[in-house]
């Protein structure tokens, strides 16, 4: 019997269930972006352009360090969903407890990395280091404080991945709503009242991450379905860890290496100066709303494919992918178009500097409008990973997107060193990578269809 917070992904109407699954997840991502935007708006309005540049320019570095472990949460979601679909309840239990402990260990490793390597990596990115309270100094302070919340951050994300695998996207939304409001409240007090600047924003974020981890753990402890967490059962089960890492580690490596290309692009942005950094950072934050809305359909594709893979329902897997591609295209085109039309007033929320707004508008035209192409690429990646092929989409993405972006920066951008020419690399690489993923998906479908027929005959 299904619990009221879960969705049966293997039976019943598919299209409507994917929407029901995706909408709370979309709202969760959009809320998270609103809270992140609040961080940037508060620090930009009350601490100046240097502080704004310091916070926004750290995003590529943070993603570089964090994405490896966030990628592993993809393995958590796919593994738990697959065993739920196959009704292997003991394996569900073991994968849940292995996942949470992996999150704790990974968070501690990230905490150490952030404290030790923040400033050297920021220097490598060319972050401006002037006299006084430089952008570099403020950026390093922000990263160090931010990473104090990393163990809680990973526990929340791994816990939310477990809930998503069970079809529950509603409660993670509630947890984020609560922790995000706490984050905004601390922002206002620490930055405006106590004038802590970037330190205040980082402290508020760390506190909210700890709260969200407490909420998701409490939920899992009280769960009555197979995903229930029992503290005394927390341990690493080698077979489950291997299965999680087999799917999640390539995803994490891909995300981290993508971040390397983004770090290189951020270094190129830095070469235009701190005003360009502020404008591009503000635009990137706005574009993030488009990405997280589309990312809901990546998770829908991954989880619906994984559960139906476990239930050996190939046709239902393929239909879930088609529906996800349709929904992500509509979402990306609609939001990308709105952001382009209202670019000027949206950027004015972050800064009044006309030159920064001009830089931000250029980025939004070349990245925001065609962002639906990134959504198509992500949905295909989720579909292929849901079928158990994680290395293949990783290699394709690294060559087709990450590698080509680096080549673009080193060749095309060097020949035409304009701000627009820099960001044109995004839509070009999205198109190429999506087409390559589509070919790989057909190969994966044929392979698992043959595998299921062979097993049935045996």
**Tens digits of residue pLDDT in 345-377:** 999 988 889 999 999 999 999 998 999 999 999
Q: How far apart are CA 55 and CA 198, in angstroms?
A: 7
The answer, yes or no, to whether residue 3 has pLDDT greater than 70, is no
pLDDT digits (tens, 9 = 90+) for 100-149: 999 999 999 999 999 998 888 888 877 777 644 578 888 889 999 999 99
Reading the block at residue 337, the tokens are 């178009």
Cα 400 to Cα 432: distance, rounded to the nearest angstrom: 6
The reported pLDDT for the residue numbered 131 is 46
- What number of CA atoms fall less than 13 Å from residue 32's CA on the CB side? 22
Q: Is residue 433 part of a domain?
A: yes
Structure-model confidence comparison of residues 129 and 430, the more confident one: 430
The tokens for 444 are 């994966």
Measure the CA–CA gap between 127 and 139, rounded to whole angstroms.
8
Asked whether residue 331 is assigned to any structural domain, the reply reads yes
Number of CB atoms found within 10 A of residue 222's CB: 9
* SS3 state of residue 370: helix
Quick one: which of 359, 375, 204, 249 has its CA closest to 300?
375
* Confidence label for 260 from pLDDT (cuts 50, 70 and 90): confident
Q: What is the pLDDT of residues 169-184, one digit of tens each?
A: 999 999 989 998 999 8
Does 42 fall in a domain? yes
DSSP state letters, 400-447: IIIIHHHHHHHTHHHHS--HHHHHTHHHHHHHHHHHHHHHHHHHHHHH
Q: Is residue 143 part of a domain?
A: yes
Alpha-helical runs (H) found in 87-169: 89-124, 135-146, 150-165
The answer to the question of residue 82 being in a domain is yes
| Domain housing 99 | 15-449
Which bin fits 272, alpha (ψ -120 to 50), beta or left (φ > 0)? Answer: alpha
- For residue 54, pLDDT over 80 is answered with no
Q: Do the beta carbons of residue 143 and residue 122 sit within 8 Å?
A: yes
pLDDT at 29: 81
Burial of 441 (0-12, 13-18, 19+ CB in 10 A): buried
Is 4 among the domain residues?
A: no
| pLDDT, tens only, 14-44 | 999 999 999 998 998 888 777 777 777 788 7
* C-alpha–C-alpha distance, residues 317 and 117, integer Å: 42
Asked if residue 316 belongs to a domain, the reply is yes
Cβ-contact 125, 61 below 8 angstroms: yes
Structural domain contains residue 9: no
Q: Does residue 55 surpass a pLDDT of 70?
A: yes
Three-class DSSP category at 390: coil
Q: How many domains does the chain have?
A: 1
């Amino acid at each position: 019997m299904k619990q009221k917070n879960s969705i049966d992904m293997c039976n019943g109407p598919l299209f409507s269930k994917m929407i029901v699954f995706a909408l709370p997840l979309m709202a969760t991502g959009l809320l998270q972006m609103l809270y992140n935007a609040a961080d940037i708006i508060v620090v930009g309005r009350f601490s100046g352009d240097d502080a704004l540049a310091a916070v926004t320019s750290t995003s590529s570095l943070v993603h570089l360090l964090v994405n490896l472990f966030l990628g592993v949460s993809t393995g958590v979601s796919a593994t738990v969903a697959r065993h739920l679909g196959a009704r292997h309840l003991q394996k569900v239990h073991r994968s849940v407890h292995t996942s949470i402990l992996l999150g704790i260990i990974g968070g501690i490793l990230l905490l150490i990395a952030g404290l030790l390597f923040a400033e050297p990596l920021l220097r490598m990115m060319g972050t401006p280091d002037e006299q006084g309270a430089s952008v570099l100094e403020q950026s390093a302070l922000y990263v160090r404080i931010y990473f104090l919340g990393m163990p809680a951050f990973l526990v929340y994300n791994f816990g939310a991945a477990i809930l998503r695998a069970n079809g529950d996207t509603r409660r993670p939304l509630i947890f984020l709503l609560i922790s995000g409001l706490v984050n905004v409240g601390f922002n206002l007090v620490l930055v405006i009242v106590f004038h802590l600047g970037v330190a205040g924003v980082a402290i508020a974020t760390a506190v909210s991450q700890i709260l969200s981890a407490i909420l998701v753990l409490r939920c899992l402890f009280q769960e009555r379905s197979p995903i229930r967490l029992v503290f005394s059962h927390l341990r690493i089960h080698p077979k489950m860890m291997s299965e999680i890492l087999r799917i999640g580690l390539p995803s994490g490596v891909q995300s981290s290496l993508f971040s390397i290309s983004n770090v290189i692009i951020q270094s190129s942005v830095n070469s235009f100066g701190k005003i360009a950094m502020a404008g591009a950072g503000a635009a990137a934050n706005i574009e993030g709303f488009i990405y997280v809305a589309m990312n809901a359909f990546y998770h829908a594709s991954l989880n619906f494919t994984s559960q139906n893979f476990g239930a050996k329902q190939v046709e239902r897997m393929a239909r879930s992918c088609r529906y996800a591609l349709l929904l992500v295209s509509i979402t990306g085109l609609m939001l990308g178009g709105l952001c382009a039309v209202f670019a000027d007033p949206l950027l004015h929320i972050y800064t009044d500097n006309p030159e920064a707004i001009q830089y931000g508008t250029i980025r939004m035209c070349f990245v925001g409008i065609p962002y639906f192409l990134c959504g198509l690429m992500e949905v295909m990646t989720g579909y292929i990973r849901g079928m158990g092929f994680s290395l293949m989409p990783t290699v394709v993405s690294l060559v087709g997107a990450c590698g080509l972006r680096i080549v673009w920066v080193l060749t095309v951008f060097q020949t035409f060193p304009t701000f627009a020419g820099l960001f044109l690399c995004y839509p070009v690489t999205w198109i190429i990578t999506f087409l390559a993923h589509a070919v790989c998906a057909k190969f994966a479908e044929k392979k698992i269809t043959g595998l299921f027929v062979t097993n049935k005959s045996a």
